[in-house]
Amino acid sequence: MRINRLVAGFSVFLLSFCSAVAQNLVAPPAAPQTAAASAESPAILEFQKIEDAWSTAMNTRDQYALELVLSPLFIDVSAGGDITTRNQQLAQLITGEDKTLHLEQKVITVRMMGDIAVANGTYQMHHKAGTAQVDEKGVFTHVFERARGGWMCINSQRTKLPEDTNPKHKKQSGEENPFHIPFIGKG
């Protein structure tokens, strides 16, 4: 009986030792992924295609292509503070009062939250303001919802970047991204 206790005690000790060693050999948990996708991520590439389709629809005055990008629930807040719906955007496109309108958009980050995605980026828009031609540069936030097997924009917010009127203070940057998001990329 004493031998059985000795074997049982040794077995418990051996199992405990093996368990402790196995726990130390397990790889540490993976570092949590950041909410923003990198420039090479599939999400950024996917949403850049959507933004390109949006820009092309605006530039070619293609109502049907714009309807495929904008949700029926779409709300737009322009850089000037004007709020429009999808139907108002389509009506502006159809009337074609501004024949000089040209839009380019570049996706910088995408955050995925299930069936909702938020894309941030930069834009350049050439358009008419009154009788003058305007070249506007700014940043955008577009909120997308997964619908009908794809993504449709439900909200757009644009912010015009201030123009630097003093060329001496203009900062030259060799970086691809024109704005800095804290805690992402270089500090």
Mean pLDDT for the stretch of residues 137-153? 96
Q: What is the pLDDT of residue 182?
A: 59
70-77/150-160 β-pairing: parallel
User: What's the chain's average pLDDT?
Assistant: 80
Mean pLDDT of 85-100: 88
Give the per-residue pLDDT at 187: 47
Provide the pLDDT for residue 33. 47
pLDDT at 72: 97
Average pLDDT over residues 145-164: 93
Secondary element (H or E) of residue 4: helix 2-25
Inform me whether the pLDDT recorded for 119 exceeds 80: yes
Is residue 137 classed as helix, strand or coil in its secondary structure? Answer: strand
Among residues 86, 82, 48, the alpha carbon closest in space to that of 67 is found at: 86
Q: What is the mean pLDDT of residues 57-83?
A: 96
Q: What single-letter amino acid sits at 50?
A: I
**What domains can be seen in the chain, in order of their start residue?**
42-162 (3.10.450.50)
Alpha-carbon span 97 to 143, nearest angstrom: 27
Give CA–CA dist 74/139, Å, rounded: 18
Within 10 A of 33 (CB to CB), how many other CB atoms are there? 8
Alpha-carbon gap, residue 56 to 96, rounded angstroms = 15
Q: Which of 168, 164, 115 is nearest to 143 (CA)?
A: 115
Confidence of residue 178 (pLDDT cuts 50, 70, 90): low
Tokens of 122: 């930069």
The predicted model scores a pTM of 0.67
**Stretch 40-65: mean pLDDT, rounded?**
94
Q: How confident is the model at residue 183 (pLDDT cuts 50, 70, 90)?
A: low
Q: How confident is the model at residue 51 (pLDDT cuts 50, 70, 90)?
A: very high
Distance between CA atoms of residues 59 and 101, nearest Å: 7
Contact indicator for 164, 170 with CB cutoff of 8 Å = yes
Given a contact cutoff of 8 angstroms between Cβ atoms, the answer to whether 146 and 136 are in contact is: no
8 or 161: whose pLDDT is higher? 161
Q: With bands split at pLDDT 50, 70 and 90, how would you rate the model's confidence at 96?
A: confident
- Give the model's confidence band at 108: pLDDT under 50 very low, under 70 low, under 90 confident, else very high: very high
